[in-house]
Copies of this chain bind each other. A is one copy, B any other.
Amino acid sequence: MPVTLRPGQALGLWRSVLLAQVLDDAPDLTTRQMAILLTIYLDPPPHTIRGLAAKLSVTKPVITRALDTMGAMKLVSRHRDEADRRNVLVRRTVEGSLFVETIGDTIIAKARDLPT
């Protein structure tokens, strides 16, 4: 059973979730950072810099810098791959799981309250 939205509903949902993020005290992540974060939390591991860059069609420095920022926020963590020490494996954190979960809750709540 597909999820069916009318144009006004789709845009209204989008806006109310964005608005919740703007009103929140938490510093906004950029569109790219958010896409990276959700990829890490929704796609199965392992996640490498190169793999993330390919999935989003961005350059590697974009991933490195995004991980710097989100790492400082404790939303993700980095670890050397002991099997091939050139690789860096990106892992989830407790704080990041909570953060992503909260976003999901917001989307669900705003979708539920959508005018019919």
Contact = CB atoms under 8 A, between A and B. Distances in A.
A11 B56 contact: no
Contacts of A100: 11
A10 B112 contact: no
A44 B35 CA distance: 31
Interface residues of A, number: 47
Contact of A32 (B28, B29, B57, B105): B28
B104 A2 contact: no
Interface of A: 1-15, 17-19, 21-23, 28-32, 34-35, 38-39, 41-42, 56-58, 100-101, 103-105, 107-108, 111-114, 116
10 closest A-B pairs by CB: A15-B38, A10-B107, A3-B111, A18-B35, A28-B31, A7-B104, A2-B112, A11-B104, A10-B104, A5-B111
